[in-house]
Structures are given as C-alpha cells and as structure tokens.
A = this chain, B = another copy of it.
Amino acid sequence: MTTSQSATINRRVVLARRPQGEPVAEDFRLETDAVPTPGEGQVLLRTVYLSLDPYMRGRMSDAASYADPVALGAVMVGGTVSRVVASHHPKYQVGDWVLSYAGWQDYSLSDGTGLLPLGAAPEHPSYALGVLGMPGYTGYQGLLDIGQPQPGETVVVGAATGAVGSVVAQVARLKGCRVVGVAGGADKCRYAVEVLGMDACVDHRGPDLAGALAEVTPKGIDVYFENVGGKTFDAVLPRLNTRARIPVCGLISAYNATSLPDGPDRLPLLTRTILTKRLRVQGFIIMQDYPDGFGAFRREMTGWLEQGQVKYREDVVEGLQAAPQGLIGLLRGENAGKRIVRVGTDEGSA
C-alpha cells in the first residue's frame, strides 16, 4: 500500500467494524479507488490536511447521538484542508485552498456546498482545522455565550492543551479570569502555564486530583468548560460556586466506555447540585447552535494570533495510513496540541 498521494489513485480509510471500547487498527480499512472526475458545477479536491478530533469516536458507534454514525464500509468523516485540482465551478480556481469535510481520503468532489474558501495562499492553511476552525470556534463561543466569564472569576478547563481547551483557556485569560487547566502529564501542564499563560494546571494523572484542584481554586470555580468528563468532572463538582456555568461540548474520557461505572448512582447528586448551586449546564454543537458567528470569531481570533495573544501548537501525524493510530492515540491523550494528519504536500495539484 502506497504511503504518499498519487495523481490517479484515491486512497481512503473506511470503517471496517464498530469498536468495542477503545478503537483498534482492525476497526479501520485502507482501500483504493480511481480518482473521481468532476461533473458540471463540481470541483475535484485533493486533501492536504485531515483533522483528527475526539468526536470521531462517537461517529464510529451506532448509539444514538447528535449525528448519524458512519456506515460500515463508508469513508471515515473528518474536516480537511484541501486544494482545488480541477474546477467546473465558477467560484473556484485550480490551486485554491478550501476548508472542506472530505473525510479520510485523498480526493473528493464537491459542488461547493459547505466549502469555506481560504484563498490562493493562506499563511497557515492547516489552522482552519484548529484554532481558526471548528475547535477554536467551539472553545471561543461556548465559553463566551454559555460560560459568560467575568473578570476575576475562576475558569477551569479540561484537556487544557488540546485544540479546544487551549482556546478556552487563552480567551478566558484575555477576559481577565483566573484560569486553571487540567491536563495529562507534567509536560502538558508546564506548557499550559509557561506558554499558554494559565495561572495553574493540574495533572489528572497525579494521585489526588480533587485535592490538587482545590488547592489552585481557592475561591471556587465559576465556569467549568466541560470537554472531558469522568474524574475531572468529579473533582470539579464540589468546587463549583453558586451560579456557576458549565458549557458541555465533549466528554472524551467516556467515549470509549462500553457500560456505566459501578454505583452508587450519582445522578441525583448532580441534579441536587444543579438545584442547590443554581448551576447552568448546557450542551452545544457549535455549527448547529451557533451557525452565524463563525466569521466574527475568525476575525477576532486572527487578530489575537497576529498579536501573539493566543498561542497555537500542532501535532502532525505523517500520512493518511497513520490516521487510525493517530486517532487512537488522540483518545489516549498522546497528542501535544491540535492533532492533524498531513495527507499530501502543500504544493502542486497532485
């Protein structure tokens, strides 16, 4: 099997079977096909970068969720940054960069629906998969609209050095909040404080997460941006202040779970805490709940990046064939920053 792009063959990674618990290599299958030919009004896109994101685990299952599962044998879904190889569409020229949702494959056709033009020579085309794309918009909008952070409040975010968490933390800092991250390992925690500017970061692999979190949140927690769940949520719950807000955009710690944990049943504890502390807990899916704010977000975030007020780090996996292992590792927290796959070269039409 080839490990680089060809001008005539379309490699694609399909879902071979539904994972039980943590995905394994055998749940994916690499197939090949001819590069398709664009019809009238269509463009042919070549994938340069593929985004790997925790939500993909959910699409591999057939449990009810907010989006349909990937069918067995179908191409894995995913956001991509691509170049136009051939165009029968008046709006696109050969060589143009676009943000698309072509999935785990080299080539795809589009009639333009859902494409975001990135111009002829974007400075950082892959940023459209992270800090300037859905993950960044998720962190920014969920924090500001549901979290409503006020200066001096304490904001806690899990997966704090990841694509979403790092944006949450830095936007909260720019809003004048005390920012505490939770991340896996000393390296990530150091990066969170030294580069991303968090006031503190707690290692969830340490022996006493609850105690460590309590120590760095002396005034309690006003906003908890929930993207991990599990033991991080458990440590946060007793620290929440009255009228705290919890935007919920993900629960990566539970995505591989095959059954509920043992008891006691703490569901009544959560609803009781929501009542007695008058919490607002709200789930959201960024483009479905906030379809109109993406342009404004991109403008503000581009400015912050240019001024150095927001830092961004990518974790690049080389080659489409490495994508399955890249996702498996992402779900284990092995990534350092936003994980993407380099599927093909930046240059040329193929």
Which A residues are closer than 8 A to B by beta carbons? 64-66, 226, 229-230, 233, 242-243, 248-251, 254, 257, 259-272, 274-285, 288-289
- Please measure, in the bound complex, the distance between the C-alpha atom of A148 and the C-alpha atom of B134, giving whole angstroms: 28
Set B230, B259, B260, B265: member contacting A261, Cβ < 8 A: B265
- Please measure, in the bound complex, the distance between the C-alpha atom of A349 and the C-alpha atom of B229, giving whole angstroms: 60
- Please measure, in the bound complex, the distance between the C-alpha atom of A243 and the C-alpha atom of B289, giving whole angstroms: 9
Contact between B260 and A264, CB atoms less than 8 A apart: yes
- Please measure, in the bound complex, the distance between the C-alpha atom of A303 and the C-alpha atom of B288, giving whole angstroms: 39
B residues less than 8 Å from A257 (CB atoms): 268
B residues less than 8 Å from A262 (CB atoms): 263-265
| A229 with B268, Cβ < 8 A, contacts A261-B263, A263-B262 known | yes
Q: Look across to chain B and name the residue whose beta carbon is closest to the beta carbon of A227.
A: B275
B residues less than 8 Å from A249 (CB atoms): 275
Contact between B266 and A248, CB atoms less than 8 A apart: no
Q: Look across to chain B and name the residue whose beta carbon is closest to the beta carbon of A284.
A: B278
Set B264, B278, B280: member contacting A66, Cβ < 8 A: B278
Contact between A282 and B278, CB atoms less than 8 A apart: yes
Contact between A260 and B271, CB atoms less than 8 A apart: no
Set B259, B268, B282: member contacting A230, Cβ < 8 A: B268
Set B233, B278, B284: member contacting A285, Cβ < 8 A: B278
Distance of A55 from chain B, by nearest CB (Å): 10
Contact between B268 and A251, CB atoms less than 8 A apart: yes
Contact between A242 and B278, CB atoms less than 8 A apart: no
B residues less than 8 Å from A289 (CB atoms): 243, 278
Q: Look across to chain B and name the residue whose beta carbon is closest to the beta carbon of A266.
A: B267
| A268 with B260, Cβ < 8 A, contacts A278-B282, A280-B280, A281-B281 known | yes
Contact between A66 and B282, CB atoms less than 8 A apart: no
Further 8 A-B residue pairs, CB within 8 A, beyond A233-B271, A276-B283: A65-B276, A248-B275, A257-B268, A262-B263, A263-B265, A267-B270, A270-B271, A280-B280
B residues less than 8 Å from A265 (CB atoms): 260-267
- Please measure, in the bound complex, the distance between the C-alpha atom of A233 and the C-alpha atom of B278, giving whole angstroms: 18
Q: Look across to chain B and name the residue whose beta carbon is closest to the beta carbon of A242.
A: B66
| A254 with B276, Cβ < 8 A, contacts A261-B264, A261-B265, A264-B261 known | no
In the complex, the 8 A-B pairs of residues with the closest C-beta atoms, listed nearest first: A263-B263, A260-B264, A266-B267, A278-B283, A275-B283, A280-B282, A261-B265, A274-B283
Contact between B275 and A250, CB atoms less than 8 A apart: yes
- Please measure, in the bound complex, the distance between the C-alpha atom of A266 and the C-alpha atom of B262, giving whole angstroms: 9
| A248 with B271, Cβ < 8 A, contacts A66-B276, A281-B282 known | yes
Contact between B251 and A271, CB atoms less than 8 A apart: yes
Distance of A291 from chain B, by nearest CB (Å): 13
Distance of A10 from chain B, by nearest CB (Å): 32
B residues less than 8 Å from A271 (CB atoms): 226, 229, 233, 248, 251, 254, 270, 281
